[in-house]
Structure 1
């Protein structure tokens, strides 16, 4: 893989510049996506339509689209000369990244119960994003991120790590609640209850947003911050859409429940 990267980039300076540009481009993507989502819901799940392409089985789609976010970074760590993976801050941040994507790509898809098919356009875009972001995050952390001594004892790293862990646990617990809403043989939608669903309609989305905000705070880079921003834009919009949908569908939907931020929004 080192040989391939050396063909793509003439020097480490050029590669680092490219990674920085990728981060800034993701910020621009987040802005454009945010504007688009003011007029259109993310086209998958209950909002899927055939105008975004033929449907792909939910389990298959999740497995294939998330796999590059795990396999490409794994290749970067295992098959390249990683200049920074011996450093503790880099190791911990890479571990945070892999904890999420091992679960998301190798475990989560096979726990899905009766998920709705994913339109091909959404599926293809997810593959592109996972490849793009996986390379940007892990290549930067494994080869270029240079943290000063004592970084892991700084308040920003400690607070970010705690936020990451809380967000990861909330995301896992919320997914568990959603999976178990229906009994075997049941169809249709139900109001989720328990955990943070008592306070917000998008508890699973809130968990993942908090997770990557914590990752960005702990990492302190443009790359992790861009990812956190993009996640917040996409999943925040998704939470708002879900909240409106629940309110329209269920007359007895809890009136005090918010969309994304408990008690506020």
Structure 2
């Protein structure tokens, strides 16, 4: 499953670099037009995040009393998706619909990857602890990623006034260096989760997610370059000064 996760996420990232974005948000009309039913963007993202959040909550009852590392991992995953749901409800503004099949695909992906990470941690019970304990460092990195991701999502939400739907070039925070600092901090959050877990699956998920988000950020930067003639050419995709 670790190999499947890396390959599947990386393939989505490579597709993003090639210009084949998942069809939701501002990319809903990229590529071939589909006849699949659409949902409002907010409802689609709630469908995407809620099952994984409920699984995180349920894991406390399914796997009780399995040590501090497991508690930290379950807490991080649950908080991660709870934050996403809160952002969908109270922060994000959606200008386009979301295809039903895409919402279901993303939802199943988050659900099964969360389940795999939790179950992989369960399988470590009774084994020796890693010689270098990274779980508290992981908590710090996770919280840094969580807060940085939220901050830049908040900046994005303030770009448009009430009733406005047109896109603008983001400003503030790290947006002066990269067009997707929210993805950069999301990757940091996943690095924190993998340091908490210290399992092969968690590190594989982080690697795959990083490749996916780098591909999406590349596609996002390309989109801004085509839509805005005054887009700063020195603003990178997700890694300041590099990519």
**Cα offsets for 1:126-170 (capped at 9, x unmatched):** 1210221121122333x3234646x6x946334333222211111
Q: Tell me, yes or no, if structure 1 residue 60 matches structure 2 residue 43.
A: yes
Displacement of 1:36 in angstroms is 3.4
Q: Is the 8 A contact 1:43 1:52 kept in 2?
A: no
- Segment drifting more, 197-206 vs 112-121: 112-121
Map of 2:168 onto structure 1: 190
Q: Tell me, yes or no, if structure 1 residue 51 matches structure 2 residue 34.
A: yes
Equivalent residue in structure 1 for 2:53, among 55, 70, 88: 70
Map of 1:5 onto structure 2: none
Map of 2:71 onto structure 1: 91
Displacement of 1:52 in angstroms is 6.8
Q: Is the 8 A contact 2:193 2:202 kept in 1?
A: yes
Secondary structure of the 2:34 match is: helix
Q: Tell me, yes or no, if structure 1 residue 242 matches structure 2 residue 225.
A: no
Q: Larger C-alpha radius of gyration, 1 or 2?
A: 1
**Cα offsets for 1:14-35 (capped at 9, x unmatched):** xxxxxxxx22321231343344
Alpha-carbon RMSD across the aligned residues, in angstroms, is 2.2
Q: Is the 8 A contact 1:167 1:208 kept in 2?
A: yes
Q: Closer, same or farther in 2 for the Cα pair 1:55/1:100, shift >3 Å?
A: same
Map of 1:262 onto structure 2: 240
Displacement of 1:239 in angstroms is 0.7
- CA distance in structure 2 between the partners assigned to 1:77 and 1:91 by the alignment: 8
Structure 1 stretches of 4+ with a deviation exceeding 6 A read none
Q: Closer, same or farther in 2 for the Cα pair 1:31/1:237, shift >3 Å?
A: closer
Secondary structure of the 2:238 match is: coil
Q: Is the 8 A contact 1:258 1:264 kept in 2?
A: yes
Q: Tell me, yes or no, if structure 1 residue 145 matches structure 2 residue 96.
A: no
- CA distance in structure 2 between the partners assigned to 1:56 and 1:114 by the alignment: 11
Q: Closer, same or farther in 2 for the Cα pair 1:229/1:145, shift >3 Å?
A: same
Structure 2: 5+ residue runs without aligned partners?
none
Map of 2:15 onto structure 1: 36
Displacement of 1:63 in angstroms is 0.9
Map of 1:212 onto structure 2: 190
Map of 2:116 onto structure 1: 136
Q: RCO greater where, 1 or 2, for CA within 8 Å and sep 6 or more?
A: 2
Q: TM-score, normalised by structure 1?
A: 0.81
- Segment drifting more, 196-205 vs 219-228: 219-228
Map of 2:154 onto structure 1: 176
- CA distance in structure 2 between the partners assigned to 1:52 and 1:233 by the alignment: 30
- CA distance in structure 1 between the partners assigned to 2:53 and 2:27 by the alignment: 27
Displacement of 1:224 in angstroms is 0.9
Map of 1:14 onto structure 2: none
Map of 1:124 onto structure 2: 104
Q: TM-score, normalised by structure 2?
A: 0.88
- CA distance in structure 2 between the partners assigned to 1:191 and 1:38 by the alignment: 20
